[in-house]
A and B are shown apart, each in its own frame.
Chain A
Amino acid sequence: MIAKKSVEKQENSSVKLSITVKGDEAQKEYNELLNKYGKEAQIKGFRKGKVPAAVLERKFGEGIRVEAAGNIMDKSLREAFETVEEKPLGYTHPEVVGEPELRIGEDFSFEVKYDVFPEFELKDWKGLELKETQVSVTKADEDAELKAIQEQNSVVMDKKDGKVTDDSIVTVDYCELDEEKNEVDGKKREDFVFTVGTGYNYYKIDEEIKGMKKDEEKIIEKEYPEDFEMKDLAGRKVAVKVLVKAVKEKILPELDDELAQDVDEKYETLDDLKKALKDQCKDRAREKVDAELKTQAVDKLVEATEIAVPRSMVDVELEQSWRNFVQQSRMQEEQLLGFLEMQGQTKDQLLETWRADAEKSVKGQLIIGKILEDEKVEISDEEFEEELKKQADMYSMPVEDLKKSFGDNNLTEYLKSDMKTRKVYDMLIKEAKIVKGDKVKYADYIKG
């Protein structure tokens, strides 16, 4: 069907394909279509299917020609892609350049543009220089973790002596008074609860309230500085009547074996818990360091490699992250769009800001894919079994069940490819030159 075709490479790994179809082939296609419609057409004055071709052509010629052109393009493209080396990517349809017109009896030629899988040269990925952050887990970090557990297991109870001190949790009624010691309307609060010393109260009476007892009433007079954060209090002298209704305190559990057993039955003594916490800290730090190394490695590779990423690939990636975004926001897509509009943004603008990142991640994926291909990374059955076992452990379900559910959902391949990617990452790090990086404290590292 195709008389002539030529491929022309263009920027961003797209390709222009020109195809010429012989006139009689085009004519045949056109006539076929005309016959098809002739059998169906109903025009006033003619019985169904008895409309002469000439009449049909005059009435609907334009439409039929366009459709015939489309058909011819479809057919010839399919034929062309079988032989042409540059295969199109699956994300988008080839885009037709201009509006090719089908003229009867003439050769029909058209051009399409499409993206191909980007070709790039893989830079040497062995011996990348990666900075490994040195995380030191100290005794203080352990203690902090332990303290957090203590806090979690704390109990709030009424204070025995009923005296307000630091860290007591108090329930108060308070009211601002005017000069004649009358209560000011609308400035009264009842049953207000706060922890002394945190400053989470309107008049900042943390200091003044200390030493008060339960059911005690007191008028606190306080002068506020000019630059006080509450505007209507700044620079004023205010009297506040405070009634302490309840004084409670947080009772932290003793650090002993019992606490350890409360946390989890597998810890018998406090030392067990401490050890587990230490390991936990180390694991967490290790995980983060590993993740950092991975991103570093990929970033370095992306920087070093020149890839002309086709726009359609980035678009697909963007669409993906948009969908993630929608899911994370837990809103309907329309709601989210409306929300964005309120902020004076459109989806396209938002996506545009993501574009650079998306491009980078596409590049990263391409590079990983290439390494995967080059190194012929394979997952053996034993490795797969092992992974399954690990996952089964994680979800605490029998291996057989897990295997079945993977098989049912056709996830086996997915899992395998995931494992392959992980293997590539491992290889990257293994072959890299690890340089000792900055030393950081565990607490700062995990938070930051």
Chain B
Amino acid sequence: MKADQIIIEPILTEKSNIMREEECKKYVFKVDKRANKIQVMRAVKELFSVKPVSCNIVNVSGKRKAILPVSASTYRRGYGRTASWKKAIVTLASGEKIDKFEGA
């Protein structure tokens, strides 16, 4: 897998903002479900030219959503579901930062 296939998008929340303020900055990304920690670290290194020190990965399961008919021909009801995804928290070496995400 290529680096830009692995990193899907950065995650921008209050929490991720706070994580960036520490000495060793942590950046949060949504990554491809098939990628492992090593691949993510390598991709971040390649894309943003920084040195990741470590990577934590969280599998986020999709949420159950509205009650919907299973198919048009039956009255049976089932649940919808949002897609599950993989979240990666990448810690950079002390003092390093990703310029692209400054102030975002």
Encoded as 1 (CB less than 8 Å from any B CB) or 0, chain A from 42 to 72 comes to 0011110010101101110000000000000
Main secondary structure of the interface of B (DSSP, over half): loop
B contact residues, range = under 10
Q: How far is it, in angstroms, between the C-alpha of A47 and the C-alpha of B12 when the chains are bound?
A: 12
Q: Are B13 and A45 in contact (CB under 8 A)?
A: yes
Q: Are A54 and B12 in contact (CB under 8 A)?
A: no
Q: Which of A44, A47, A57 contacts B103 (CB 8 A)?
A: A57
Q: Which of A46, A57, A59 contacts B13 (CB 8 A)?
A: A46
Smallest distance from the beta carbon of B100 to chain A beta carbons, Å?
11
Smallest distance from the beta carbon of A79 to chain B beta carbons, Å?
33
Smallest distance from the beta carbon of B38 to chain A beta carbons, Å?
27
Which residue of A is nearest B11, CB measured? A45
Q: How far is it, in angstroms, between the C-alpha of A52 and the C-alpha of B20 when the chains are bound?
A: 12
For A52, list chain B residues within 8 Å (CB).
17
Q: Which residues of B (70-104) have their CB < 8 Å from a CB of A? A: 102-104
Q: How far is it, in angstroms, between the C-alpha of A50 and the C-alpha of B17 when the chains are bound?
A: 11
Smallest distance from the beta carbon of B14 to chain A beta carbons, Å?
5
Smallest distance from the beta carbon of B81 to chain A beta carbons, Å?
20
For B11, list chain A residues within 8 Å (CB).
45
Q: Which of A45, A54, A57, A58 contacts B14 (CB 8 A)?
A: A45
Q: Are B12 and A45 in contact (CB under 8 A)?
A: yes
For A55, list chain B residues within 8 Å (CB).
12, 17, 103-104
Q: How far is it, in angstroms, between the C-alpha of A58 and the C-alpha of B99 when the chains are bound?
A: 13
Q: Are B104 and A58 in contact (CB under 8 A)?
A: yes
Smallest distance from the beta carbon of A62 to chain B beta carbons, Å?
13
Smallest distance from the beta carbon of A105 to chain B beta carbons, Å?
15
Q: How far is it, in angstroms, between the C-alpha of A59 and the C-alpha of B103 when the chains are bound?
A: 9
Encoded as 1 (CB less than 8 Å from any B CB) or 0, chain A from 203 to 240 comes to 00000000000000000000000000000000000000
Smallest distance from the beta carbon of A116 to chain B beta carbons, Å?
44
Q: Are B103 and A58 in contact (CB under 8 A)?
A: yes
Q: Are B103 and A54 in contact (CB under 8 A)?
A: yes
Beyond A54-B102, A54-B104, 19 additional pairs, beta carbon < 8 A: A44-B12, A45-B11, A45-B12, A45-B13, A45-B14, A45-B16, A46-B13, A46-B14, A47-B14, A50-B14, A52-B17, A54-B103, A55-B12, A55-B17, A55-B104, A57-B103, A58-B103, A58-B104, A59-B104
Query: Hey, which bits of chain A sit against chain B, CB under 8 A?
Result: 44-47, 50, 52, 54-55, 57-59
22 CB < 8 A contacts A-B: A44-B12, A45-B11, A45-B12, A45-B13, A45-B14, A45-B16, A46-B13, A46-B14, A47-B14, A50-B14, A52-B17, A54-B102, A54-B103, A54-B104, A55-B12, A55-B17, A55-B103, A55-B104, A57-B103, A58-B103, A58-B104, A59-B104
Closest 4 A/B residue pairs (Cβ): A45-B13, A54-B103, A58-B103, A58-B104
